[in-house]
Every structure is written in structure tokens, then in C-alpha cells.
Structure 1
Amino acid sequence: MQCVIAFLLLLAKDPQNMDRLIVTQFETNESSYGVYELTTGRTFPHPALINQPDVIWESEMENGTHIMSYCSDTLQSHEIVYRITSGMTDITSRAHLHWNENFNAESDCLESLKSVINPEEKIDVNIMSKFSSRVKSKCTNQVILNLAFSGIIAVDGEYRKYAPPKADQPVVVTLDRPMKLKSLLLNGALIEGKETIFGQEALAWYQGHLHLFKRNRNSDAWLPATTIGHENYNGWLIAYFIEANFPEIIKKWEYYYDNCAKYRVLLRKLSRGDERNIHREYFFDRRSNSNYYVDYFLNELDKYEILINKMPENTVAIYKPH
């Protein structure tokens, strides 16, 4: 069985620029992540596209985020992705645009940075903690990162992983102090995973993408666990995080396909007129009369038939974590 996990972001605040669909795969050796523009409505692609009933699972992350799994016992994961995103526009490379945009604040900050970081005049005070109060007031962490994601400046230092890799930007800012992660996230929201001996991971919307963040047991600082600036290869980390922390999203599909397989076995045996062997195999340890066997078998068969024939449009299972 192959699966993909999709995330749907729906925001009343700015749906045109912020609504999006993200699809992740479990493959580790190829592109496993994509961001898509919603073109046919503010909904998940219909599961009928892969000819299966759907399982919708709503996450604990509030503010318009929904999670859904698509699994198939005949299709490869890249085929599932192709089917559910057919006709959509891939916006992965520009997903950060207009996310936290504040043109005036960014322009003011850039002018301030140029006054303190100017290689031509041999002025090079680029360490953020050493900026004057005036510069700090204009260049918050969020504004600095916005400029970095726009490619206007570069970021280095201990916390450089919060920004894309440096290119040839003339202005470079050294981030040398921890940042309050929630102040950088969409509505400060996180999906926190289970704590382990190695620490804890959390999933969040950051600069238009879904990213994993991690903190160890000896620190309160969250650092990116997925690679910022190379999002295409982050999908498998996100997919495994969801499966590890919310396994029901995949297990429900396993249960469905197990029942489909049992149903096919029963049909084959019925087609051979092999009722007696069916009774022996399924009810050998039951002590009852033959009428009980027949009634029980037919009831079970009815259940499988209902399961295998139910249509996506009228059978939707919704799960909410406790």
C-alpha cells in the first residue's frame, strides 16, 4: 500500500494569497513535497480520483489547516500525486511570496541595514545583537527573515537555518540570538509531536511552507529540522512525522484494504461452492448449530459487501484526536 498525506490551508484573512494544498510522500530518494494553488475550489481533491473512499482527518492545528490521506494498493505514490494534483499549478518555488509581506517595514529596515553594513565605506556591524536600538526597532526578526526570503539580504550565524542559503547578496546579517518561534509562525500555531529521549518535533506553517522544528531536552530553542530553501525533499520527513504521531490516518486505510482482501477471498470460495470449507476456516472453534454458521457467515459477507461498494460521496469518515 502506498500513501500520500495532503494538507489544506484555508484562511479567511487572505485566501487568494494564502490558501494552498501541500502534498507529501514517504519516498526519501526523490522529490517528495509540493505546494499547489487551489484552482477548483477550497476543498481537497476528491478521492474518486484514485477510485477509493476517503478518510478525512482533522488535525489539532487550528486556523484553517486540515489533513487528509490518500492511499492505494495498486498505485505508486507519485501516481497518486499526479492524479490528485492534475490541473493544479505548482507554486512550490514561490510559496513564500506575499506570506508575511510588509513592504514599508522591509524598506525601512533595508535602509537602516545599509547604513550599518556598507563594505564600500568599511562599515561592517552586521551582528544583530550589536545593532543600535534604532536599527533593532526597524529590523525585527520577522522583517529580517522576510528580506532574506525575498533574496534581498542573506543571513548567517548560529540561526542561519531559519533562512534560505546565502547567494551573492551584498548585505549579510548575522543572527546570533535565539528567536521566539511562535512569533514567526502563522498564528503562532504548532502541531507538537510526542516527546522522546532525543527531544521533541513540531510541524508548523513558516514562510508559506510546512516545516518541522526540533528542540532537544536540554533547551527551549526550536531549530528547523527540515531544510529551508530546499523544500522539495522535505516531504518524507513531514509524512513520517504525521504517521508516527497520528497513526490512525494510515491505519484506517490498512483496515479498509485488509477487509477488501478478506471479501475477495470469501467471494472466491463462494464461487467454488466451498461453503463448508468457509465455515470450517472461519468458525472452527465455535460450538453451535449449522444455522448459526450460515447466518453468521451471511452477516459477515453483507458487512464486507457494504464496505467494498460504498461510494466516496456518501461515505466520509472524520477523525478528531482526543
Structure 2
Amino acid sequence: MAKKNNYYPISTKEIISSNACTGKNLVQLAQNRYITIHENNIINPYKKLENKIRIYFDVGIEIKLGEGQVYFEGKKVNGKTEDEILMWYMGYLHIFRRRIKNGGWYVGTSLTSMDFNGYQISDFMWRNNPQYRRFIKSWESLENLVDKRRHYPGLTPEGLAIEIQRKASHEKLERLKLDNLQPSDAHGIISSFTWYGD
């Protein structure tokens, strides 16, 4: 498929039927900005387009989540209407959710702006992992202790350095081991890639 201004994007149905590439290939191409994803099958012909292949997801693509990757299963969210997992995907941690009624997985975190995913991942771990919750609570206690003592007249610079060292030691002892999570055979339809944008 040649790269050109295409006002009628290539549909995923066409890609699947021709065995041109897999769902994982499409994710990699979009992440590397070689293609762009559209919600609509027709593009305004007067709109200036970047020189990218344009893909329209008219049908979801079957993709095996967890191919040699790591995941962590969460509790059902949104009033128990969705399943939720945290997994390594394309080299980064991402949250995937699956609507229980239709079984389609969708990405809950950004696949292109990884810097903005930290809060969602931390919230997921807080809700689903007691070890992580204990770690954060004890970390916050140590931070509060150091902050209070920093303003205490009797605390010397050496005393503050000791508190900071204790905090660092605590981190080493209680550090979360994400690499201990088990591989998953979870699979299903990725129902949407509308999070990409141009």
C-alpha cells in the first residue's frame, strides 16, 4: 500500500481479508506515526492531510493480549461492568479494560503520550495491590516525617541527611516487583484505537 493522500481510508476489514498485517503491526505503525487512525470512513477533501496512510477501524482486530508480556488482573470497575488488566505492551505499562457485555478490550491509557499514564497506573495499583498500597502509605509517612523535621529547629543538616537515607533504604526493601507478575493468555478484540489522533 503506497503512502499517499487518501480521502477514503483503508478499512481494517480490507486489511484482515488480505492478510496484509496483524493488529500488533497496526499498533506499531501507529505508535511510530507511519499511519494515522480515523473514526470516520470519509475525510474532508479540503482538509490538509499529512503524508500518512490512513486507517479506518470499521471492525475490531483480533489481537492476543499477553503474548510473552506481563499483566496484572484488577477488580471490576464502573459498577462491575468492566474487567481491567495492567500489562506490559509495546515496552510500556498500559491499562486495558474489557466491557463485560460485549467482550471487547480497549486501551485505558494513552499509547502515544506515555508521560500522562502514571496517575492512572498508580491508581490501578492502589486499588488492586495491597503490597503497593502499604508501600505508598509508608512512603508518605516517611515523607511527612522528613518534611516536619526539616522545619524543626533541632534538626541539623546531618540529621536531615539520615532521614533521607532511611527513606531511600525503605524504598529498596519495599520496592514493588512488577517483574514477578505472571504471563497472561488473555485475548480478545481491541475495539477502538481512537486514542491515537494525529
Common fold, TM-score beyond 0.5?
A: yes
Q: Does 217-226 or 192-201 show the bigger shift?
A: 192-201
User: 1:201 corresponds to which residue?
Assistant: 84
What is the identity, as a one-letter code, of the residue corresponding to 2:121? I
Is the counterpart of residue 130 in structure 1 residue 14 in structure 2? yes
Q: How many residues align?
A: 146
Residue 233 of structure 1, CA deviation: 1.4
Which TM-score applies when normalising by structure 1? 0.37
Q: Does 1:147 align with 2:29?
A: yes
Return the offset for 1:222.
0.7
Quick check: 1:127–1:175 contact (8 Å CA) kept in 2?
A: yes
Q: Indicate the structure whose relative CO is greater, using CA pairs within 8 Å and at least 6 residues apart.
A: 2
1:245 maps to what in 2? 128
Give the conservation status (yes or no) of the 8 Å contact 1:226–1:237. Answer: yes
Instruction: Confirm or deny: 8 A CA contact 1:186 1:206 kept in the other structure.
Output: no
Alignment-derived partner of residue 269 in structure 1:
none
Show the counterpart of 2:70: 189
Cα 1:141/1:151, change in 2 over 3 Å: same
Distance verdict in 2 for CA 1:226–1:252, change over 3 Å: closer
Shift of 1:240: 0.6
The answer to whether the 8 Å contact 1:192/1:201 transfers is yes
For 2:72 and 2:135, locate their aligned partners in 1 and report how far apart those are by CA, in whole Å: 21
CA–CA separation in structure 1 for the residues paired with 2:19 and 2:168: 57
Contact 1:182 1:189 in 2 (8 A): no
| Partner Cα distance (2:105, 2:33) in 1 | 24
* Matches of 2:131 and 2:16, distance apart in 1: 51
Give the C-alpha shift of residue 154 in structure 1: 1.3
Cα 1:251–1:118 shift into 2, 3 Å: closer
Structure 1 residues 188 and 250, CA, compared in 2 at 3 Å: closer, same or farther?
Answer: closer
Q: What is the deviation of 1:206? A: 1.9
Shift of 1:310: 11
Q: CA RMSD in A?
A: 3.8
Letter matched to residue 128 of structure 1? T
Q: Which residue of 2 aligns with 1:235?
A: 118
SS in 1 for 2:134: helix
Instruction: Give unmatched runs, 5+ long, in structure 1.
Output: 1-112, 159-166, 262-308
Higher helix share: 1
Provide the rounded CA distance (Å) in 2 between the counterparts of 1:128 and 1:175: 5
- Aligned match for 2:102, one of 195, 210, 219: 219
Separation in structure 2 between the aligned mates of residue 132 and residue 216 of structure 1, nearest angstrom: 23
